[in-house]
């Protein structure tokens, strides 16, 4: 979900893997990727509500996870999860009852990003998601309904599906499952678990980076 700093010199990623040397900055206009995959629950006439908010801080040079933000969110329009939602995501009622509201979670995201140095103007970073839905539709739509502002850092991202299609020459119709299969990777955890989806995104990015792919922002300016 970015334009990153491109390294002005090239090395063989295969050789780097063999000798165990750190990777060059693989990717973008920045030093960090913020892997995001929100989970939402159907909420009647008001559409959907976010019930899980995970973010992984991924080092743009080593492609290793350095920090994790993970919170569940109390839905307010339809506070009771449906059996379908629980079956799909693995999230049960007890996991969201008494949890912070979306407004509180977004405040804690901002605090976490500040603590991790991601709000420092000298540190470049960008969100990465599996598709445009999370940051183009879901988050701004729910924020608009609840009367909440959307921070500027949520307004640019890399769509991993687009990055994968640029790198591999085919569109991953089934999202993470197709990308893992195309790269011969084992799927991590449970499909449709937000935090597990983030781990799969990070693993796919690392694999593409080792193959020499350079990630760039795919979203258009708001």
Tens of pLDDT along 6-21? 222 222 333 333 333 3
Q: Is residue 218 part of a domain?
A: no
Q: Is residue 128 part of a domain?
A: yes
**How many angstroms separate the CA atoms of 92 and 95, rounded?**
6
Q: Is 215 in contact with 167 (CB distance < 8 Å)?
A: no
Q: Is residue 174 part of a domain?
A: yes
| Residue 38 per-residue DSSP state | -
CATH number at residue 133: 3.30.420.10
Closest CA to 38 of 10, 72, 5: 72
Closest CA to 41 of 68, 77, 94: 77
| Residue 113 per-residue DSSP state | H
| Maximal CA-CA distance, the chain | 56
Residue 164, classified by CB atoms within 10 Å of its CB into exposed (0-12), middle (13-18) or buried (19+), is buried
Q: Is residue 205 part of a domain?
A: yes
Q: Is residue 3 part of a domain?
A: no
Q: How many domains does the chain have?
A: 1
Instruction: List, for residues 95-130, the tens digit of each pLDDT value.
Output: 999 999 999 999 999 999 999 999 999 888 999 999
**How many angstroms separate the CA atoms of 85 and 41, rounded?**
6
Q: Is residue 135 part of a domain?
A: yes
**How many angstroms separate the CA atoms of 190 and 203, rounded?**
15
Its domain, for residue 49, covers: 25-211
125-129 and 157-159 beta bridge pairing = parallel
Place of tokens 């990465």: 128
Q: Is 216 in contact with 160 (CB distance < 8 Å)?
A: no
Instruction: List, for residues 157-213, the tens digit of each pLDDT value.
Output: 999 999 999 999 999 999 999 999 999 999 999 998 999 999 999 999 999 999 989
Closest CA to 37 of 144, 161, 124: 161
**How many angstroms separate the CA atoms of 17 and 61, rounded?**
13
State the pTM of this model. 0.84
Q: Is residue 109 part of a domain?
A: yes
Instruction: List, for residues 25-34, the tens digit of each pLDDT value.
Output: 444 445 888 8
Q: Is 188 in contact with 143 (CB distance < 8 Å)?
A: no
Q: Is residue 80 part of a domain?
A: yes
């Amino acid at each position: 979900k970015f334009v990153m700093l491109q390294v002005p010199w090239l090395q063989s990623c295969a050789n780097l893997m063999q000798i165990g040397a750190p990777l060059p900055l693989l990717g973008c206009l920045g030093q960090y990727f913020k892997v995001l995959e929100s989970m939402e629950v159907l909420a009647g006439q008001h559409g959907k509500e976010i019930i899980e908010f995970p973010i992984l801080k991924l080092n743009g040079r080593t492609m290793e996870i350095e920090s994790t933000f993970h919170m569940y969110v109390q839905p307010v329009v339809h506070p009771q999860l449906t059996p379908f939602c629980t079956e799909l995501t693995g999230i049960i009622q007890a996991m969201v009852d008494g949890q912070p509201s979306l407004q509180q979670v977004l405040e804690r995201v901002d605090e976490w990003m500040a603590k991790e140095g991601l709000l420092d103007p000298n540190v470049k970073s960008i969100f990465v998601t599996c598709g445009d839905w999370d940051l183009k539709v879901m988050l701004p739509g729910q924020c608009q309904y609840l009367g909440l502002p959307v921070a500027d850092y949520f307004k640019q991202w890399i769509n991993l599906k687009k990055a994968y299609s640029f790198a591999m020459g085919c569109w991953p119709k089934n999202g993470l499952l197709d990308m893992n299969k195309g790269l011969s990777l084992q799927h991590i955890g449970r499909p449709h678990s937000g935090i597990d989806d983030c781990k799969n995104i990070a693993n796919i990015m690392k694999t593409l980076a080792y193959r020499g792919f350079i990630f760039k922002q795919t979203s258009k300016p708001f």
